[in-house]
Structure 1
Protein backbone atom coordinates (compact mmCIF):
# COMPACT_ATOMS: atom_id res chain seq x y z
CA UNK A 1 0.00 0.00 0.00
CA UNK A 2 1.00 3.55 -0.49
CA UNK A 3 0.51 6.49 1.61
CA UNK A 4 2.10 9.82 2.46
CA UNK A 5 5.28 9.41 0.35
CA UNK A 6 6.39 5.89 1.11
CA UNK A 7 5.58 2.57 -0.57
CA UNK A 8 5.08 -0.78 1.11
CA UNK A 9 5.37 -3.94 -1.00
CA UNK A 10 2.86 -6.67 -0.57
CA UNK A 11 3.77 -10.30 -1.33
CA UNK A 12 2.12 -10.17 -4.76
CA UNK A 13 4.03 -7.00 -5.68
CA UNK A 14 7.35 -8.77 -5.20
CA UNK A 15 6.24 -11.72 -7.41
CA UNK A 16 5.00 -9.33 -10.07
CA UNK A 17 8.36 -7.51 -10.16
CA UNK A 18 10.19 -10.83 -10.28
CA UNK A 19 8.04 -12.07 -13.18
CA UNK A 20 8.46 -8.77 -15.03
CA UNK A 21 12.24 -8.89 -14.56
CA UNK A 22 12.49 -12.49 -15.88
CA UNK A 23 10.18 -11.73 -18.76
CA UNK A 24 12.54 -8.96 -19.87
CA UNK A 25 15.51 -11.35 -19.63
CA UNK A 26 13.77 -14.17 -21.45
CA UNK A 27 12.57 -11.78 -24.15
CA UNK A 28 16.22 -11.30 -25.12
CA UNK A 29 16.77 -15.08 -25.01
CA UNK A 30 13.52 -15.63 -26.88
CA UNK A 31 14.82 -13.34 -29.60
CA UNK A 32 17.97 -15.44 -29.78
CA UNK A 33 15.92 -18.65 -29.93
CA UNK A 34 13.78 -17.29 -32.74
CA UNK A 35 16.80 -16.01 -34.62
CA UNK A 36 18.69 -19.31 -34.31
CA UNK A 37 15.58 -21.31 -35.24
CA UNK A 38 15.02 -19.21 -38.36
CA UNK A 39 18.70 -19.45 -39.30
CA UNK A 40 18.66 -23.23 -38.81
CA UNK A 41 15.56 -23.66 -40.99
CA UNK A 42 17.02 -21.55 -43.81
CA UNK A 43 20.46 -23.15 -43.65
CA UNK A 44 18.96 -26.66 -43.52
CA UNK A 45 16.96 -25.88 -46.67
CA UNK A 46 19.98 -24.46 -48.46
CA UNK A 47 22.03 -27.45 -47.27
CA UNK A 48 19.47 -29.86 -48.73
CA UNK A 49 19.72 -28.11 -52.10
CA UNK A 50 23.54 -28.22 -51.92
CA UNK A 51 23.45 -31.92 -51.05
CA UNK A 52 21.20 -32.58 -54.05
CA UNK A 53 23.55 -30.65 -56.33
CA UNK A 54 26.51 -32.57 -54.93
CA UNK A 55 24.81 -35.87 -55.69
CA UNK A 56 23.82 -34.76 -59.18
CA UNK A 57 27.34 -33.64 -60.07
CA UNK A 58 28.79 -36.88 -58.72
CA UNK A 59 26.36 -38.89 -60.87
CA UNK A 60 27.25 -36.77 -63.91
CA UNK A 61 30.94 -37.33 -63.27
CA UNK A 62 30.36 -41.09 -63.24
CA UNK A 63 28.35 -40.98 -66.46
CA UNK A 64 30.98 -38.84 -68.19
CA UNK A 65 33.76 -41.17 -67.01
CA UNK A 66 31.74 -44.09 -68.41
CA UNK A 67 31.42 -42.28 -71.76
CA UNK A 68 35.19 -41.73 -71.74
CA UNK A 69 35.77 -45.45 -71.14
CA UNK A 70 33.44 -46.34 -74.01
CA UNK A 71 35.30 -43.95 -76.31
CA UNK A 72 38.66 -45.38 -75.21
CA UNK A 73 37.38 -48.86 -76.12
CA UNK A 74 36.22 -47.59 -79.51
CA UNK A 75 39.61 -45.98 -80.09
CA UNK A 76 41.34 -49.24 -79.11
CA UNK A 77 39.15 -51.10 -81.60
CA UNK A 78 40.13 -48.61 -84.29
CA UNK A 79 43.83 -49.04 -83.49
CA UNK A 80 43.39 -52.84 -83.66
CA UNK A 81 41.73 -52.41 -87.05
CA UNK A 82 44.64 -50.17 -88.08
CA UNK A 83 47.08 -52.90 -86.98
CA UNK A 84 45.17 -55.52 -88.98
CA UNK A 85 45.40 -53.34 -92.09
CA UNK A 86 49.13 -52.85 -91.41
CA UNK A 87 49.60 -56.62 -91.21
CA UNK A 88 47.71 -57.11 -94.48
CA UNK A 89 49.78 -54.37 -96.07
CA UNK A 90 53.01 -56.05 -94.90
CA UNK A 91 51.87 -59.38 -96.35
CA UNK A 92 50.97 -57.66 -99.61
CA UNK A 93 54.42 -56.03 -99.72
CA UNK A 94 56.12 -59.42 -99.21
CA UNK A 95 53.84 -60.95 -101.86
CA UNK A 96 54.64 -58.11 -104.26
CA UNK A 97 58.36 -58.54 -103.73
CA UNK A 98 58.11 -62.29 -104.34
CA UNK A 99 55.64 -62.08 -107.26
CA UNK A 100 56.96 -63.74 -110.43
CA UNK A 101 55.30 -61.38 -112.94
CA UNK A 102 54.78 -57.65 -113.29
CA UNK A 103 51.03 -58.19 -113.43
CA UNK A 104 51.12 -59.92 -110.05
CA UNK A 105 53.36 -57.17 -108.66
CA UNK A 106 50.88 -54.51 -109.90
CA UNK A 107 47.97 -56.43 -108.30
CA UNK A 108 49.75 -56.49 -104.91
CA UNK A 109 50.82 -52.86 -105.24
CA UNK A 110 47.17 -51.87 -105.72
CA UNK A 111 46.34 -53.69 -102.47
CA UNK A 112 49.23 -51.96 -100.72
CA UNK A 113 47.98 -48.55 -101.91
CA UNK A 114 44.43 -49.40 -100.78
CA UNK A 115 45.64 -50.55 -97.35
CA UNK A 116 47.72 -47.38 -96.95
CA UNK A 117 44.67 -45.22 -97.76
CA UNK A 118 42.44 -47.22 -95.39
CA UNK A 119 45.04 -46.99 -92.61
CA UNK A 120 45.08 -43.18 -92.88
CA UNK A 121 41.29 -43.07 -92.60
CA UNK A 122 41.31 -45.47 -89.65
CA UNK A 123 44.08 -43.48 -87.92
CA UNK A 124 42.15 -40.23 -88.37
CA UNK A 125 39.03 -41.84 -86.88
CA UNK A 126 40.99 -43.39 -83.99
CA UNK A 127 42.57 -40.03 -83.10
CA UNK A 128 39.16 -38.31 -83.25
CA UNK A 129 37.70 -40.94 -80.90
CA UNK A 130 40.69 -40.53 -78.55
CA UNK A 131 40.03 -36.76 -78.50
CA UNK A 132 36.38 -37.47 -77.65
CA UNK A 133 37.53 -39.72 -74.77
CA UNK A 134 39.80 -36.95 -73.46
CA UNK A 135 36.91 -34.46 -73.67
CA UNK A 136 34.63 -36.81 -71.65
CA UNK A 137 37.43 -37.29 -69.09
CA UNK A 138 37.79 -33.50 -68.77
CA UNK A 139 34.02 -33.12 -68.27
CA UNK A 140 34.10 -35.84 -65.61
CA UNK A 141 36.98 -34.15 -63.80
CA UNK A 142 35.16 -30.80 -63.88
CA UNK A 143 32.01 -32.41 -62.45
CA UNK A 144 34.02 -34.09 -59.67
CA UNK A 145 35.60 -30.74 -58.78
CA UNK A 146 32.15 -29.19 -58.63
CA UNK A 147 30.92 -32.16 -56.56
CA UNK A 148 33.70 -31.56 -54.04
CA UNK A 149 32.69 -27.90 -53.78
CA UNK A 150 29.04 -28.86 -53.12
CA UNK A 151 30.20 -31.40 -50.52
CA UNK A 152 32.41 -28.79 -48.81
CA UNK A 153 29.51 -26.31 -48.77
CA UNK A 154 27.13 -28.91 -47.35
CA UNK A 155 29.63 -29.84 -44.64
CA UNK A 156 30.10 -26.20 -43.63
CA UNK A 157 26.32 -25.77 -43.37
CA UNK A 158 26.06 -28.91 -41.24
CA UNK A 159 28.71 -27.51 -38.89
CA UNK A 160 26.72 -24.23 -38.76
CA UNK A 161 23.59 -26.17 -37.76
CA UNK A 162 25.54 -28.02 -35.05
CA UNK A 163 26.86 -24.68 -33.75
CA UNK A 164 23.28 -23.38 -33.72
CA UNK A 165 22.19 -26.26 -31.49
CA UNK A 166 25.12 -25.70 -29.13
CA UNK A 167 24.43 -21.95 -29.10
CA UNK A 168 20.82 -22.62 -28.09
CA UNK A 169 21.86 -24.95 -25.31
CA UNK A 170 24.63 -22.77 -23.89
CA UNK A 171 23.22 -19.33 -24.76
CA UNK A 172 26.74 -18.26 -25.79
CA UNK A 173 26.74 -15.30 -28.13
CA UNK A 174 30.12 -16.21 -29.62
CA UNK A 175 28.70 -19.56 -30.72
CA UNK A 176 25.86 -17.73 -32.39
CA UNK A 177 28.40 -15.62 -34.28
CA UNK A 178 30.32 -18.82 -35.15
CA UNK A 179 27.09 -20.28 -36.48
CA UNK A 180 26.54 -17.26 -38.73
CA UNK A 181 30.18 -17.36 -39.83
CA UNK A 182 30.07 -21.05 -40.79
CA UNK A 183 26.77 -20.49 -42.56
CA UNK A 184 28.33 -17.67 -44.59
CA UNK A 185 31.34 -19.85 -45.42
CA UNK A 186 29.03 -22.66 -46.56
CA UNK A 187 26.95 -20.35 -48.75
CA UNK A 188 30.16 -18.84 -50.15
CA UNK A 189 31.55 -22.24 -51.10
CA UNK A 190 28.17 -23.10 -52.64
CA UNK A 191 28.40 -19.94 -54.74
CA UNK A 192 31.84 -21.09 -55.96
CA UNK A 193 30.31 -24.43 -56.97
CA UNK A 194 27.46 -22.66 -58.75
CA UNK A 195 29.98 -20.55 -60.65
CA UNK A 196 32.04 -23.69 -61.48
CA UNK A 197 35.10 -22.34 -59.66
Structure 2
Protein backbone atom coordinates (compact mmCIF):
# COMPACT_ATOMS: atom_id res chain seq x y z
CA UNK A 1 0.00 0.00 0.00
CA UNK A 2 1.47 3.39 -0.96
CA UNK A 3 2.12 6.13 1.56
CA UNK A 4 0.20 9.35 1.01
CA UNK A 5 3.22 11.11 -0.47
CA UNK A 6 3.90 8.12 -2.75
CA UNK A 7 0.46 8.47 -4.32
CA UNK A 8 1.60 11.71 -5.89
CA UNK A 9 4.40 9.96 -7.74
CA UNK A 10 2.47 7.09 -9.36
CA UNK A 11 1.52 9.14 -12.41
CA UNK A 12 1.82 12.80 -13.46
CA UNK A 13 -1.92 12.72 -14.14
CA UNK A 14 -4.41 10.89 -11.91
CA UNK A 15 -7.57 10.00 -13.83
CA UNK A 16 -10.60 11.30 -11.92
CA UNK A 17 -13.44 9.09 -13.06
CA UNK A 18 -17.23 9.14 -12.76
CA UNK A 19 -18.68 5.73 -13.61
CA UNK A 20 -22.37 5.08 -14.30
CA UNK A 21 -21.91 1.50 -15.51
CA UNK A 22 -19.84 -1.09 -13.62
CA UNK A 23 -19.09 -2.96 -16.85
CA UNK A 24 -16.87 -0.03 -17.85
CA UNK A 25 -14.70 -0.23 -14.75
CA UNK A 26 -12.29 -3.04 -15.64
CA UNK A 27 -11.73 -2.23 -19.34
CA UNK A 28 -11.23 1.42 -18.43
CA UNK A 29 -8.58 0.58 -15.84
CA UNK A 30 -6.89 -1.81 -18.28
CA UNK A 31 -6.82 0.83 -21.02
CA UNK A 32 -5.26 3.35 -18.65
CA UNK A 33 -2.62 0.80 -17.69
CA UNK A 34 -1.77 0.06 -21.30
CA UNK A 35 -1.27 3.79 -21.72
CA UNK A 36 1.17 3.89 -18.80
CA UNK A 37 -1.06 5.11 -15.97
CA UNK A 38 -1.21 2.87 -12.92
CA UNK A 39 -3.69 4.68 -10.70
CA UNK A 40 -7.32 5.70 -10.94
CA UNK A 41 -9.57 7.76 -8.69
CA UNK A 42 -13.14 6.51 -8.80
CA UNK A 43 -15.36 9.23 -7.41
CA UNK A 44 -18.24 8.27 -5.13
CA UNK A 45 -20.70 10.33 -7.15
CA UNK A 46 -22.78 7.48 -8.54
CA UNK A 47 -24.56 4.48 -6.99
CA UNK A 48 -22.19 2.04 -8.72
CA UNK A 49 -18.91 3.60 -7.62
CA UNK A 50 -18.18 1.18 -4.77
CA UNK A 51 -18.90 -1.84 -6.95
CA UNK A 52 -16.63 -0.36 -9.63
CA UNK A 53 -13.83 -0.09 -7.08
CA UNK A 54 -14.39 -3.72 -6.08
CA UNK A 55 -14.22 -4.87 -9.67
CA UNK A 56 -11.04 -3.00 -10.50
CA UNK A 57 -9.21 -4.08 -7.36
CA UNK A 58 -10.35 -7.66 -7.87
CA UNK A 59 -9.60 -8.00 -11.57
CA UNK A 60 -6.81 -5.56 -12.50
CA UNK A 61 -3.38 -6.14 -11.02
CA UNK A 62 -0.83 -3.40 -10.50
CA UNK A 63 -3.16 -0.43 -10.27
CA UNK A 64 -3.76 1.75 -7.21
CA UNK A 65 -7.46 2.50 -6.89
CA UNK A 66 -8.41 5.63 -5.03
CA UNK A 67 -11.90 6.49 -3.81
CA UNK A 68 -12.65 10.15 -4.42
CA UNK A 69 -15.29 12.63 -3.35
CA UNK A 70 -15.34 11.25 0.20
CA UNK A 71 -17.71 13.71 1.86
CA UNK A 72 -20.27 11.89 4.00
CA UNK A 73 -20.11 9.88 7.22
CA UNK A 74 -19.37 6.24 6.55
CA UNK A 75 -18.06 6.68 3.01
CA UNK A 76 -14.44 6.26 4.02
CA UNK A 77 -15.11 2.88 5.64
CA UNK A 78 -17.29 1.77 2.72
CA UNK A 79 -14.52 2.63 0.28
CA UNK A 80 -11.98 0.76 2.39
CA UNK A 81 -14.22 -2.31 2.45
CA UNK A 82 -14.58 -2.07 -1.34
CA UNK A 83 -10.80 -2.36 -1.66
CA UNK A 84 -9.68 1.24 -2.22
CA UNK A 85 -5.97 1.71 -1.64
CA UNK A 86 -6.25 5.43 -0.89
CA UNK A 87 -8.90 8.06 -0.18
CA UNK A 88 -9.43 11.56 -1.58
CA UNK A 89 -11.62 14.27 -0.06
CA UNK A 90 -12.66 17.56 -1.70
CA UNK A 91 -12.52 19.37 1.65
CA UNK A 92 -11.44 18.67 5.22
CA UNK A 93 -13.68 18.83 8.26
CA UNK A 94 -12.41 17.38 11.53
CA UNK A 95 -15.04 14.64 11.50
CA UNK A 96 -14.18 13.65 7.94
CA UNK A 97 -10.46 13.61 8.65
CA UNK A 98 -11.02 11.43 11.72
CA UNK A 99 -13.11 8.96 9.74
CA UNK A 100 -10.51 8.78 6.99
CA UNK A 101 -7.73 8.27 9.53
CA UNK A 102 -9.70 5.46 11.19
CA UNK A 103 -9.49 3.39 7.99
CA UNK A 104 -5.69 3.34 8.11
CA UNK A 105 -5.56 4.15 4.39
CA UNK A 106 -3.34 6.89 2.97
CA UNK A 107 -5.29 9.97 1.96
CA UNK A 108 -5.17 13.15 -0.03
CA UNK A 109 -7.37 15.55 1.95
CA UNK A 110 -8.67 18.55 0.05
CA UNK A 111 -7.83 22.20 0.70
CA UNK A 112 -8.39 25.52 -1.05
CA UNK A 113 -6.94 28.00 1.48
CA UNK A 114 -3.70 28.56 3.36
CA UNK A 115 -5.42 28.09 6.71
CA UNK A 116 -6.76 24.71 5.64
CA UNK A 117 -3.30 23.68 4.46
CA UNK A 118 -1.76 24.71 7.78
CA UNK A 119 -4.42 22.84 9.75
CA UNK A 120 -3.75 19.68 7.78
CA UNK A 121 -0.02 20.11 8.20
CA UNK A 122 -0.58 20.27 11.97
CA UNK A 123 -2.31 16.89 11.70
CA UNK A 124 0.71 15.44 9.91
CA UNK A 125 -0.46 15.61 6.30
CA UNK A 126 2.15 16.51 3.70
CA UNK A 127 0.34 15.45 0.51
CA UNK A 128 -2.83 17.42 -0.21
CA UNK A 129 -5.44 17.81 -2.88
CA UNK A 130 -5.95 21.40 -4.07
CA UNK A 131 -9.58 21.77 -5.13
CA UNK A 132 -11.15 23.35 -7.07
CA UNK A 133 -7.83 24.33 -8.58
CA UNK A 134 -8.71 26.79 -11.31
CA UNK A 135 -11.50 28.66 -9.47
CA UNK A 136 -9.31 28.83 -6.33
CA UNK A 137 -6.42 30.65 -7.98
CA UNK A 138 -4.74 28.01 -10.06
CA UNK A 139 -1.05 28.11 -10.89
CA UNK A 140 -0.33 31.58 -9.40
CA UNK A 141 -1.91 30.56 -6.08
CA UNK A 142 0.07 27.33 -5.76
CA UNK A 143 3.24 29.12 -6.83
CA UNK A 144 2.69 31.58 -3.99
CA UNK A 145 2.33 28.73 -1.48
CA UNK A 146 5.67 27.12 -2.35
CA UNK A 147 7.81 29.50 -0.32
CA UNK A 148 5.84 29.74 2.98
CA UNK A 149 4.78 26.05 2.87
CA UNK A 150 7.82 24.27 1.39
CA UNK A 151 7.07 20.91 3.03
CA UNK A 152 3.66 20.47 1.40
CA UNK A 153 2.99 18.88 -1.98
CA UNK A 154 -0.21 19.15 -3.96
CA UNK A 155 -2.36 17.33 -6.47
CA UNK A 156 -4.49 20.09 -8.01
CA UNK A 157 -7.86 19.00 -9.40
CA UNK A 158 -10.72 20.94 -10.88
CA UNK A 159 -10.43 22.70 -14.21
CA UNK A 160 -7.23 20.88 -15.17
CA UNK A 161 -6.94 20.19 -18.90
CA UNK A 162 -4.23 18.89 -21.25
CA UNK A 163 -3.56 22.53 -22.14
CA UNK A 164 -2.84 23.78 -18.61
CA UNK A 165 -1.64 20.61 -16.86
CA UNK A 166 1.97 21.25 -17.83
CA UNK A 167 1.90 24.66 -16.13
CA UNK A 168 0.87 23.01 -12.86
CA UNK A 169 3.38 20.18 -13.16
CA UNK A 170 6.19 22.70 -13.63
CA UNK A 171 5.64 24.01 -10.08
CA UNK A 172 8.00 22.66 -7.40
CA UNK A 173 5.14 21.83 -5.01
CA UNK A 174 2.99 20.00 -7.57
CA UNK A 175 3.83 16.34 -8.16
CA UNK A 176 0.72 15.32 -10.08
CA UNK A 177 -2.60 16.68 -11.25
CA UNK A 178 -6.07 15.16 -11.31
CA UNK A 179 -7.84 15.13 -14.64
CA UNK A 180 -11.30 14.09 -15.81
CA UNK A 181 -10.44 14.19 -19.50
CA UNK A 182 -8.86 10.73 -19.44
CA UNK A 183 -12.24 8.98 -19.23
CA UNK A 184 -14.62 10.92 -21.49
CA UNK A 185 -18.21 9.76 -21.21
CA UNK A 186 -18.63 9.30 -24.96
CA UNK A 187 -15.60 6.99 -25.12
CA UNK A 188 -16.92 4.96 -22.18
CA UNK A 189 -20.38 4.69 -23.76
CA UNK A 190 -18.88 3.45 -27.04
CA UNK A 191 -16.33 1.19 -25.40
CA UNK A 192 -13.59 3.07 -27.24
CA UNK A 193 -10.76 1.85 -25.03
CA UNK A 194 -8.17 2.61 -27.68
CA UNK A 195 -9.02 6.30 -27.33
CA UNK A 196 -8.66 6.08 -23.54
CA UNK A 197 -5.28 4.39 -23.96
CA UNK A 198 -4.14 7.15 -26.33
CA UNK A 199 -5.24 9.83 -23.86
CA UNK A 200 -3.30 8.04 -21.11
CA UNK A 201 -0.14 7.97 -23.21
CA UNK A 202 -0.46 11.68 -23.88
CA UNK A 203 -0.98 12.36 -20.18
CA UNK A 204 2.12 10.39 -19.18
CA UNK A 205 4.16 12.51 -21.60
CA UNK A 206 3.14 15.65 -19.68
CA UNK A 207 5.31 14.50 -16.77
More helix by share: 1
Q: Under TM normalisation by the shorter chain, which class is it? A: under 0.3
The TM-score, its normalising length taken from structure 1, stands at 0.25
Q: Which one has the largest radius of gyration?
A: 1
More strand by share: 2
* Structure of greater relative contact order (alpha carbons < 8 Å, 6+ residues apart): 1
